[in-house]
Amino acid sequence: MSGAGELNCVCGDLFPIKLSSLLNRVWHTDRDMAQLLERFESSSLGILDPIRLVKAAIPGDVSMKVTEILPRLKDGGAFVKFRHDPSLDPLKAEETLVAKLQEKPLKPWFNPFRGIKARLVRGTPWLEDLHRYPTSLLRVEFVPPDPGTQPEELSEEILYSLFRKYGKIADIVPQPQDNKTSPRYAHLGFPLTRDAIMARNCMHGFIVDETLGGGKNGTRLRLSYQKRVKPHSIWNWLTSHPRIVVPVVAALIAGISVIIFDPIRQFFIKAHIQHSLRFTESRVYKWFKTQTDSFKITGRHKQHEDFSTVWHHRRELIEQLRAWLEDNSDTFIVVTGPRGSGKMGLVMDQSLEGRKNVLSIDCRPIVEARGESGTISRLAAAVGYRPVFSWANSMSSLIDLAVQSTTGVKAGFSETLESQLNKILYTTTAALQDVSLAGRSKKDKDANLSDDAYLEAHPEKRPVVVIDNFLHKAENKGIVYEKVAEWAASVVQNNVAHVIFLTNDLSYTKPLTKALPDRVMRTISLGDLEPDIAKQFVISRLGDGIRSDDKDKESHETTQPQKTDLTGLDESIETLGGRLTDLEFLSRRILTGQTPKQAVDEIVHENATDIVKMFLLGKASEEGRKWSTQQAWLLIKSLAEKPVLQYNSVLLSSTFSSSLTPAAKDGELALESLASSDLISIKFHQGHPQTIEAGKPLNQAAFAVLLTDRVLKASMDLAVLKETAKVEAKSIETIENELALLAGLPNQTNETGNRLRYLLGKMDSSQTKISQLETEMARLKKILEQES
C-alpha cells in the first residue's frame, strides 16, 4: 500500500491469564509462534484458535492489513501491527474498532461471558520475557524523556484522565511527599487485572507533553506491575494473641488426634486382649496342631505333668479363684507370696486355663524403663495400645519451652507422664468394655438391659486383667502403681473386668485400699510347699528328666543310664525349703549327676555370695536402697544365731534407730526395704509387725555360712562397732554442748545440779561404751591383719 502508515494495537483476553505461567513454559519464547501470520491468512482456522478472533475483530469497511502479530502469553493477549491508508486517522480507527467489539462482542472459548478488547498502543511497549506476571496494581514512574531534563510529577487528575479509558480505576495513590525515592511514582489500582494489562501495554513509554500536564520538557511514563500487600488481618490477629491462640490450637490438635487415632488404638487393644491377630489362635494353626500332637510331646505338656503334684496340693486355692471370677464382685483379687512361690502359674496356667479374653500386664519392665518415653512405650506394649508416639512428647516439651520463653504462657502441647498413663489406661477401659459386650445379641433374653446392667448380670462375660509384679521397685515409679491401682478400681467398680494383682510386697494394702477404700479385697496367700509335697515335686521332675535321658540314650544306642542318687534328699529339701524356683534348681543339679547334699551345698554357697554382693558390698547411695550395710549385717548375724527376732527389739537397736547413713535413718523403712528384697520376712500379728525371720529357708542356711567366714564377719562387725562408736561420740558431743551452756548460767540451783549429774552420768556411760567398743575393734583389726 503506497504511502501507507503503520499503527500498533493491543488485543486482550486471547489467552487465559490464569494459565499464563503454564503457557509461558510450554512456549519458551513468544517467537515460537512465528507462523501466526500464515495461520491468520489461512482460511481453515479452527474455532478454538485465538488468532481467529484477531481476524474477526478487524472491521471489514476499514482499509487495514495485518503485518505482524506478537503474542503475549503472560498478558493473555497479543500486539497486532496494521498497515493502513494515510487518510485514516489512528484515533478514528481505534474508535471504530472499539465500537465494533462493543456491538458484536467476540468471546474466547475459555470465557464465554467476557469479550475481547482492543486498544491503540500510544507508548513504546517493553517486550520482555521475564517471570513477572500481571497484577491489578500498576506502578507509574515519572522519568525524563531525554537525559538531563527534569520530569514533572503528574497529579491524580491527570493520571485519571489518561488511564480511565482502559477501565474503571479503583484508586490512585501518589508517592508521599516525605518519601525521597527517585524517580517519583504513583500507584494505580484497577478492579480487574485485564484492565491493568491493557493500560500497561498501551501506555508504557508514553510521553505526556506540556498540553496534557507533563511539563515543558514532557514526562515519560514507565509502568510496571506491583504486587499487592494483603492486610492479613486474620493472621495478624492470630500472631498478636498467642495467649488465646496457642491453647486453642493445642486443644484442636488434641481433639483431632483423639478423633483419628483413638478408634485405631482401641481396635488394637481389643485384638491384643482377644488374641485375634496371633497366628497361633487361628483355625488353620489349631487344626494343624491337632494333627501333629501325636508326633511329639510339647514342653508345656511336660510342665503341666511336672507341676501336677503342686497343683493338686493347691487345688482348693485354684477352685476358690475360679469361683471368685464367676461371682458378681466389685473388688480386687490379690494373690500374694514370696518370689518363686508359683503365683503366675497358679493364676495363668491353672485358674485361667482355657479362658478367653485375658489381659496380662507385667509391671517389672514398665517401672524399669528409662525415662518417661520408655515407661509410656512399655505400658502401651503391655496393653496393645498402638500407634504410640512417645518420642513426640519430648518434641512437644521443647515447643512448650520455646513458646513459654517467647510469649510467657505455656502452650500445653506436651503432656505429663500422668496424663499419658491416664490416656492409655482409659482407652484400655473402653476396649475392655467392647470385649465384654462382644457376644451380646438382640435375641438374648436380657437384650433389653442396658450395658451396665448386662455386665452386672453376667460376670462370666467380663475379661480378666492380671497385673503381675505389682509394687516391684515401688520407690522408683510410684506414680505408675498409683495410676494402675486407680484404673483397676474404676474397672472393677464399673463391672468392666475382673482384676487380679500378683505381688510379693506386704505393703500392697496401702495403694489398693487408697484406690478402693470402701471394699474388702479377696486375698490368696501362697507359701512354701510342705516338705513331703516338695519331695514329690522334685522326684516328679527327676523322673521326667531320667525318662528323657533314657530316650536320648536309646536313640544313640549307648549303655544303660546310671541311676540317680537320691541319698539325703529329705535333709536337702529341709535345708532348701519349699520355694518352687529353688526346688527346680535342685532338680536340675541332681540331673547333672550331683547328689542332693552336693547340690544344696553349692546352692547355699551361691546364695550366700549373692547376699554379700547385694546387701553387704553395695553402696548405700544406690538408687532404691533404703538400708545400710551395718543394718543388713546385724540382721544376718542375729538370724544366724537365732531364727526368730523380735521386730521392736531390732528397731530399737542403735544400728537401726541411730544410723548415720542418710538413706537408712528410718529404721522401719529399712526393714520394709529389706523384706521387699527377700532378705528377711516380717510376720504380723493383729495387723502390726511382730517378728522377723529369714526371707526363705535357703537364706537361713546362707546366713550360717556367712557367719563362718572369719574375714567377712570381722570386717562387718568392725563396721557396726565403728558406727556405734560414732553414735556414742556424737551423744557425748551433744552432752558437752549442753554442759557448756549450763556452765554459763549466773546462778547454780538444785535443778541445774540434778541436770548436771544426769548429763555427767550419761557421758560416763557413753565413754565406757566407747572404751569397750575400741577394745573389741582392736581385736577385730588383729583378725583382719592375720587373715589378710
Mean pLDDT of the 761-777 span = 90
Is the pLDDT confidence value at 30 over 50? no
pLDDT score for 222: 94
State residue 690 phi and psi, 5-degree precision. -125, -50
pLDDT score for 108: 72
Percentage of the chain lying above the pLDDT 70 cut? 79
Query: Highest-confidence range of 43-52, 123-132, 357-366, 572-581, by mean pLDDT?
Result: 357-366
Query: Highest-confidence range of 101-115, 238-252, 681-695, by mean pLDDT?
Result: 681-695
Cell 469479550, residue located? 115
Residue 49 Cα to chain centre, angstroms: 61
Q: How many other C-beta atoms are found inside a 10 Å radius of the C-beta of residue 192?
A: 14
Residues 6+ apart with CB under 8 A from 516: 331, 332, 485, 489, 492, 493
Is the pLDDT confidence value at 561 over 50? no
Identify residue 438 by its one-letter amino acid code: A
Question: Which of 412, 410, 465, 416 has the alpha carbon at shortest distance from 436?
Answer: 465
- Cite the DSSP H helix spans in 241-293: 242-274, 283-292
Question: Which of 425, 534, 438, 549 has the alpha carbon at shortest distance from 488?
Answer: 425
Mean pLDDT of the 339-354 span = 84
Task: Tell me the residue length of the chain.
Answer: 788
Count Cα atoms within 13 angstroms, Cβ side, for 757.
Answer: 6
Is the pLDDT confidence value at 208 over 90? yes
C-alpha cell at 532: 513331703
Mean pLDDT of the chain: 80
Cell 486407680, residue located? 486
CATH T-level fold of 595-708:
Arc Repressor Mutant, subunit A (1.10.10)
pLDDT score for 184: 92
Rounded-to-integer distance, Cα 513 and Cα 334, Å: 12
Mean pLDDT of the 102-118 span = 74
pLDDT score for 47: 47
Angle between helices 569-576 and 531-555 (to 10 degrees): 120
End-to-end CA distance of the chain: 130
Residues 6+ apart with CB under 8 A from 527: 337, 338, 341, 578
Cell 497385673, residue located? 467
Residues 6+ apart with CB under 8 A from 147: none
pLDDT-derived band at 174 (thresholds 50, 70, 90) equals very high
Structural contact between residues 416 and 458, judged by C-beta atoms closer than 8 angstroms: no
Structural contact between residues 720 and 664, judged by C-beta atoms closer than 8 angstroms: no
* Of 467 and 110, more confident: 467
Mean pLDDT of the 626-649 span = 92
Question: Which of 152, 146, 119, 132 has the alpha carbon at shortest distance from 8?
Answer: 119
Question: Which of 222, 193, 221 has the alpha carbon at shortest distance from 133?
Answer: 193
Residues 6+ apart with CB under 8 A from 770: 725, 728, 729, 732
C-alpha cell at 229: 500487600
Cα angle 578, 580, 581 (rounded to 5 degrees) comes to 120
The conformation of residue 661, written as its DSSP 8-state character, comes to S
Least confident stretch, 11-20, 123-132, 379-388? 11-20
β-pair type (5-12, 77-84): antiparallel
Identify residue 145 by its one-letter amino acid code: P
Mean pLDDT of the 306-325 span = 80
Is 137-225 CATH 3.30.70.60? Answer: no
Rounded-to-integer distance, Cα 738 and Cα 756, Å: 9
Is the pLDDT confidence value at 455 over 80? yes
* Of 397 and 509, more confident: 509
Question: Which of 195, 228, 49, 58 has the alpha carbon at shortest distance from 114?
Answer: 195
C-alpha cell at 37: 501470520
pLDDT score for 298: 44
Q: What burial class does residue 780 get, using C-beta atoms within 10 Å of its C-beta: 0-12 exposed, 13-18 middle, 19+ buried?
A: buried
Question: Which of 158, 183, 182 has the alpha carbon at shortest distance from 172?
Answer: 158
Residues 6+ apart with CB under 8 A from 649: none
Rounded-to-integer distance, Cα 576 and Cα 786, Å: 34
* Of 24 and 2, more confident: 24
pLDDT score for 280: 57
State how far the alpha carbon of 127 is from the alpha carbons of 30, 124, 259, 680, 706, in Å: 9, 9, 56, 97, 102
User: What are the boundaries of each domain within the chain?
Assistant: 5-120, 137-225, 270-525, 531-594, 595-708, 717-788
Rounded-to-integer distance, Cα 219 and Cα 186, Å: 14
